Structure 1
Amino acid sequence: MKSIAFRHLWFGQALANLGDVLYIVGLISAVYTMTGSAVYMTAVPLIITFSRFVSSVVAPLLMNRATLRTLLAWSQAGKTALLFTVLFALQSSSVWPLLLLGAGIAFLDGWALPARNAFVPYLVKREELMGANGFLSTVDQIIQFSSWALGGVLLSLIGVDYLFVTVFILFLVSTVYMFRLPAALRTNLEERKSWWAQLGEGWVLVKEKKGLVSVFCVYALESVAATVWIAAVLYLYVDRQLGKGEEWWGFINSAFFIGLLLASIVIFRYHGLFSRKRASILPLTIIMTSVITLFFAWNELAVLALVLSLLFGLFDQLKTIILQTYLQESAPPDELGKIYAAQGTLTTLLFGLSSAGAGLLVESWSIPAVFTVSGILLALSIIPMMVFLKNE
């Protein structure tokens, strides 16, 4: 983890992730200022999610023709170029150029995360994988936890135009770091295959690799179950069930992110222990996330909701990092990118569809009922996980 190449990877991606959040803050603000419409404003995350889904689908085509370094570097360079164009689109009276550029940036971003995760096993030793994933997750969570608040502060201090200038600088520096990564890991070219066969390569690898079908079943169940923790559902939980104001919505979200951060720090600090005991710890994390969600479902005490949210974030992140390490050990680095692309396609699609479904269920069912269904789905994920561990 002390290699210069790994430092370039995590620092460059940290700058890119910070820029991504600030960019979304600026884009939502700009769209609302132009239109005054909440519909257009809420369309921004929907467009971003859809673009990333399409990007995950087509990622195998690119991974058959380029190194992981090339994908990371040129996707970031493309995002930087589009962001520069956004500065001119702000002067337009139409909101559509902004939305189209937002879709383009999200599309380019769609294969960056699979490429980054596939790059990690190449840059660190096998025994350091758990620690490296813990470190990267720590950096990611710190950025996620702080950058939304930072975006709001910067927006009020310097305005949306200069906020986008700041993002452009972050993207530009990130691009420099991505081009300094080692030019290795060209994936196996399959240009004799038809393009539709190449699109399915990740899924073929999932089927061929021992245990990955079970792991993907866990990812599928969790993607559906996780929709109750989105901001809109939590807002209704705070309002209807806890009877508290908007500030408690922020407190519960903050507690959740603190739990994520604590888990990442713990794994980074004690990665050797977690590597040795992960077969025992993983089922425990699944059970705990299910039990915590069920308690959360019927809880009406605001302080207890904070504690449960923190604990859920803690155990959910432990589970995520351990599963990611298993995934990285399941295939050689030149195949991992396609597997991660398949995972991104699955989780993005299911989460997007389930998010819409969760909103409808909240209106027709009670809040406790929706969270109870989530807890049951999380409990069911223990079945494919035990199948995986049994065959490990």
Structure 2
Amino acid sequence: MNSSFYYLWSNISISKLALSLFTMTMTLSIYKLSNSATLSALVMFVYVIGKFFSSFVFPFISEKYPLQKILKRSMFLQIVILFAVYILLNKATIHSILFLIFLLIWIAGFVDGFSSPSRMALIPTTVTEYKLGRANSLISTTDQVFSLIGWSVGAVLLNRYGQLLILLVSIILLCISFITSIQIKANSITYSATKLKWATFKSGWTMLFNPRNNLRTITNMDILEGVASGIWIGGITLVFVKEVLNKGEQWWGFINTGYFIGSIAGGMLIMLFSHKVQTNPFRAIMIGSFFVSFLVFLYALNKIAVIAILLVILMGPFYQLRDIAQQVFIQKQLREESLAKLYAAKDNLYYLVFTFSVFITGLISDYFGVIFVYYFAGLLYLASSFYAYALFKRAKSVT
């Protein structure tokens, strides 16, 4: 691991914490300004919609500029936007200011949409291929750690110090993250400005569904597991806790914490065995998907709260195993300029699938009961593991 990787790692981790605190701060601020739970719930939605639109623009930008430059500029713009929000909140006394705040939240999401694929595409340029597994494990683990800190400690800090101070902390964290982005040095490549616009736009989608390098199989698995991921939407988990486990809201928090603990532990374990994951990512993907399916079925059948938390913790390592192995596989297949476009299309697909997941899991919960949401998800994870098995068999036949 060289210094550029550690700067990139720091950039990802610190930005994650800053944006977690920013999201929580804005949710609380909007609620206090409007006294509306509906408007406060729109904060994350507006932010994600901004990222969704940026994924259409990113392929054209990445065609003209190096990823390091895109990352630096997007980080700087995020600082400017958050500072503008800070000034508005200092002045905000009337509801008319809400439109401006939501507009800035949308722009913040749009700008962040350039950071995410840039960072992921830069990973294989800052480490040797041999260390890809360890690098992705390290990033994934700290990502979960900082998410846990942001969403747990953030609530306490907001309650004690107020949203303006925490928003200022978010700005300071983004400034530190911006400084780390300046230090990243990656392999240079030649960028083309002559490609047709339509060809540039569809290039990421073409790679996602390319059957020749198994990326189409990975994409199909992503779609299945993306729909299944609706089981962890806050509303579904809360209904399961209340109706199946017969517990109060605090157990909802325990289960969320258990998920983060499992993911962190899983990331640390995979770091120890990163070479094995990297040597055979197909097998790792298959094992991860199958055991997630098995544990989700057990979770649906169980009615004891303590066991539910243990099952969620156990799921964490298998989720991480599958995700990290997939990242390693993708990063070994493509060059940096192709990776950036693929990750932009991948993000776009994720937002579409997530929207559908929210819709379908809500319908199943309302019409058939929340427990059937988990049976449905278990079947999707099982189907995904069969896809992984087909990928594994195909890889063995080639070798």
TM norm structure 2: 0.94
Partner of 1:167: 170
Deviation track 1:3-59 (CA, whole Å, cap 9, x = no partner) reads 111111111221111100000010001000000001101111111221111122221
| SS of residue in 1 equivalent to 2:64 | coil
Cα offset for 1:382? 2.3
**Cα separation, 2, equivalents of 1:382 and 1:358:** 21
Deviation track 1:87-131 (CA, whole Å, cap 9, x = no partner) reads 122123221111111111111111212111110111101010000
Partner of 1:84: 83
Cα offset for 1:364? 1.3
**Cα separation, 1, equivalents of 2:394 and 2:118:** 28
The letter for the 2-side match of 1:24 is T
| Percent pairwise identity | 27
User: Is this contact kept in 2: 1:66–1:187, CA < 8 A?
Assistant: no
Cα offset for 1:186? 4.4
Match of 2:341 among 338, 341, 346: 338
Cα offset for 1:272? 1.7
User: Is this contact kept in 2: 1:64–1:191, CA < 8 A?
Assistant: no
Cα offset for 1:146? 1.3
Cα offset for 1:278? 3.6
**Cα separation, 1, equivalents of 2:309 and 2:84:** 42
The letter for the 1-side match of 2:205 is W
Match of 2:206 among 190, 204, 207: 204
User: Is this contact kept in 2: 1:294–1:372, CA < 8 A?
Assistant: yes
Mapping for residues 365-380 of structure 1, pairs under 5 Å: 365-380=368-383
Residue 56 in structure 1 maps to residue 55 in structure 2: yes
The letter for the 1-side match of 2:116 is L
User: Is this contact kept in 2: 1:69–1:184, CA < 8 A?
Assistant: no
Partner of 1:47: 46
**Cα separation, 2, equivalents of 1:151 and 1:185:** 38
**Cα separation, 2, equivalents of 1:38 and 1:73:** 35
Match of 1:305 among 297, 304, 308: 308
User: Is this contact kept in 1: 2:286–2:392, CA < 8 A?
Assistant: no
Deviation track 1:322-344 (CA, whole Å, cap 9, x = no partner) reads 11100111111221111111111
Partner of 1:350: 353
Partner of 2:21: 22
Unaligned runs of 5+ in 1: none
Deviation track 1:206-230 (CA, whole Å, cap 9, x = no partner) reads 3445110111001111100001111
Partner of 1:247: 250
**Cα separation, 2, equivalents of 1:187 and 1:170:** 32
| SS of residue in 2 equivalent to 1:381 | helix
Count residues in correspondence.
Answer: 390
**Which moved further from structure 2: 16-25 or 53-62?**
53-62
Distance 1:185 1:203, change over 3 A: farther
**Cα separation, 1, equivalents of 2:321 and 2:300:** 22
TM norm structure 1: 0.96
Partner of 1:120: 123
The letter for the 1-side match of 2:59 is P
Residue 238 in structure 1 maps to residue 249 in structure 2: no
| SS of residue in 2 equivalent to 1:182 | coil
**Cα separation, 2, equivalents of 1:202 and 1:230:** 28
Residue 11 in structure 1 maps to residue 34 in structure 2: no
**Cα separation, 2, equivalents of 1:202 and 1:133:** 21
Partner of 1:32: 31
**Cα separation, 1, equivalents of 2:81 and 2:190:** 27
Deviation track 1:235-286 (CA, whole Å, cap 9, x = no partner) reads 0000011100111111111111111101110111221232235433321211
Unaligned runs of 5+ in 2: none
**Cα separation, 1, equivalents of 2:272 and 2:354:** 31
For the aligned residue pairs, the C-alpha RMSD in angstroms reads: 1.5
User: Is this contact kept in 2: 1:63–1:187, CA < 8 A?
Assistant: no
Partner of 1:268: 271
| SS of residue in 2 equivalent to 1:58 | helix
User: Is this contact kept in 2: 1:227–1:358, CA < 8 A?
Assistant: yes
Partner of 2:72: 73
Cα offset for 1:157? 2.3
Partner of 2:180: 177
**Cα separation, 2, equivalents of 1:187 and 1:365:** 54
User: Is this contact kept in 1: 2:241–2:247, CA < 8 A?
Assistant: yes
User: Is this contact kept in 2: 1:239–1:245, CA < 8 A?
Assistant: yes
User: Is this contact kept in 2: 1:8–1:181, CA < 8 A?
Assistant: yes
**Cα separation, 1, equivalents of 2:78 and 2:187:** 22
Partner of 1:216: 219
Partner of 2:149: 146
The letter for the 1-side match of 2:365 is V
**Cα separation, 2, equivalents of 1:337 and 1:217:** 20
User: Is this contact kept in 2: 1:190–1:198, CA < 8 A?
Assistant: no
Cα offset for 1:156? 1.9
**Cα separation, 2, equivalents of 1:280 and 1:359:** 33
The letter for the 2-side match of 1:205 is M
| SS of residue in 2 equivalent to 1:111 | helix
The letter for the 1-side match of 2:180 is Y
Distance 1:340 1:192, change over 3 A: closer
Partner of 2:133: 130
